[in-house]
Amino acid sequence: MAMDLTDFITGLPKVELHVHHVGSATPQTVARLAERYAGTTSVPADPALLAGYFTFTDFAHFIQVYLSVVDLIRDAEDVATLTYDIGAGLAAQSVRYAELTLTPYSSIVRGIPAEEYCEAVEDARLRAARDHSIQLRWCFDIPGEPTMTGADVTLDVALKQRPEGLVSFGLGGPEEGIARARYTAHFAAARAAGLHSVPHAGESTGPQTVWDAVRHLGAERIGHGIAAARDPKLMEHLREHDIALEVCPTSNACTRSVASLAEHPLPQLVAAGVPVTINSDDPPMFSTTLNREYQVAADLLDLDEHGVAELARQAVRFSFLDDPGKAAVLAEIDNYLKVFSNRAAAATSRIAGEPR
């Protein structure tokens, strides 16, 4: 078990690369929306009841519950409020930059025009930067589903609206029965337009899904990807091609993608040299935070503060932040570690010098 690094992690400058928009709605936000739309939703309007509601039997149940919360975001004002609140919450955890996964189709199909949706998230992005000194960027996410309508709409919105904060193109939702290769043309078009490829793969399915995401979708990072631990050749490929996994440990345990945190394959992936970043996925739904995920990772990998700082650096390096922005956050991390280490050394020296 690693040392308790709570204080160190709390102030450590970080970036977040895998966190979902609606999945980041706090219990208070969800309850407020459920009350606003009472009578038309199964989501409880009492924050105290949400912990039970957010207890998942398996991945399919998680998707079902997630979509019930998506259904609470019904107008552009809801979108803007949710987005701004996420930015503020991340900034309070010392997050300097976050790539937020948005699924515009889920809102468009519920009646929010694409232009209004994009204007709402951009307004929130600018306000969050002004008020909380956090940079938010967007990954537009295809909702994996039997029809291709969501994929077509998502690509259309990405290319025609092209909000300033948009940096990447993703694929989420169920993996079982939703072949990555179906979306080859969509990802090729997104990449041709300069967007990065960051599909989910290998979370609730096996290594083949990750291979498919790499080969067919040109994945630069993989959302989750933990099944790669079962395939030595795949781990070697990810290492050699510098394709990072966006690992979200508590999420994987809560959705039953792994049996327990103790059995999470993060240590095997790191031991094999696979690049990993630590992320929170849908934090309120899993009763976690990015800060807690860093402590979970420290426990699994038996890290001290230097090891945790290196995890934070790795996330910066694999982010789509521009080079000056990366350099600034990396310098902040180095300075923070230096100050923290000096304070710890001074405290140890003082204690050693005290009379017994």
Query: Which residues are marked as active site?
Result: 203
Cα separation, 197 vs 183, in Å, equals 11
Cα separation, 127 vs 88, in Å, equals 10
CA distances from 76 to 112, 121, 165, 166 (A): 7, 9, 17, 18
Q: What is the DSSP string of 132-166?
A: H--EEEEEEEEE--SSSHHHHHHHHHHHHT--TTE
Instruction: Dig out the tokens for 24 from the structure.
Output: 């980041």
The SS3 call for residue 14 is strand
First to last CA, the chain: 30
Radius of gyration from C-alpha coordinates of the chain: 20
Pairing label, strands 221-224, 244-247: parallel
Q: What is the DSSP letter of 16?
A: E
Give which of 144, 39, 24 is closest to 92, Cα–Cα.
24
Give which of 93, 76, 75, 109 is closest to 24, Cα–Cα.
93
What is the identity of the amino acid at 94? S
